[in-house]
Amino acid sequence: MDLFLLFLGFLCMILGVLGSFLPVLPGPPISWLGLLLLTLTSGVPNNWWFIGITAVVALVVAALDYWIPVVGTRRFGGSRSGMVGTTIGLLVAIVFPVLGVAGIVIWPFIGAVVGELINKSNSRTAMKAAFGSFVGFLTGTFLKFVVSMVYLGLFLSSTWEHRAELFPWFN
């Protein structure tokens, strides 16, 4: 059962890191679920303070992920159309990886510009708002990625620390 929980926890970690970039997956909460599954194994001692604190961090980051792009967009005079365009641009970058890794940055910005141009007639205002939407999107994505990577590091560190209990046949 421990190996199943360990495997499922590691799968949650990978999905959590991917969820940092994919808008359909909540990255940090999924990564936190991986930490919880690791804690539920018999080889890792239960540390409920650790699980509680990391849960609060995951929930705060998930909430900030919705709030930061709104603040960035509004600060630069943008609209909901810019945020929707940014998300559509990200989906285009994922589904059609034409520009490789740079596409993850370029397509959301193009989507924000198009979204703002659809919403506003002035191209200067649309570019400024798209920039705000894009900066908010990047900030939220970066924050989710950092938290998910920290959780992955904690998962791997704890697994390594308790490897004798988790993998007794390798001793």
* CA dist list (Å): 167 to 5, 35, 45, 57, 66: 13, 18, 15, 30, 40
For position 15, what pLDDT does the model report? 95
- pTM for the model stands at 0.79
The mean-pLDDT minimum among 26-30, 40-44, 45-49, 93-97 falls in 93-97
For position 99, what pLDDT does the model report? 67
Task: Quote the mean pLDDT of the chain.
Answer: 85
Nearest to 28 by CA among 67, 66, 68, 55: 55
CA 93 from centre of chain? 16
The model's pLDDT over 90-123, given as tens digits with 9 standing for 90+, comes to 788 777 776 666 677 778 788 888 888 888 767 8
